[in-house]
Amino acid sequence: MAVSEFQEVSHVLTLTSSEKETDTKYQRVYALLLQIPAGKVSSYAALSRALSSSPRAVGGALRRNPYAPEVPCHRIICADGAIGGFKGEAQDAPSGINQKEKRRLLESEGVSFDMKGNLISKESWWNGFEV
């Protein structure tokens, strides 16, 4: 999905002024997230390679995603298959509430994790980003 297509999607949602600043700064990240099909996941590393960026910068953009879950940041997991953090909460955060929500979203799309939160099927991986 091109940035212009993402802009069309983003105009459907209502944003605050600070979210609009985030929207502009991270449009390319959000546009690529929309390419990941339901039932598939990609990694922070794969998304950062497609953007010529760093996994940490991608994580920062995902943490600020005002469009979730319509712009599916929940479909990004760790390169080792661990479910990773969600909504700015680290994977090992004490409450684990956000990670449970991420897991629920992914499992509702058919992505399975073991009891430790690791991806079960390698067939769920997706890396078809078109920049």
The DSSP element (H or E) to which 6 belongs, if any, is: helix 3-10
109: nearest Cα among 91, 126, 92? 126
Q: Is 73 a catalytic residue?
A: yes
Q: CA–CA separation, 17 vs 21, rounded Å?
A: 7
- Which of 29, 61, 73, 105 is flagged as catalytic? 73
DSSP 37: P
Active site residues: 73
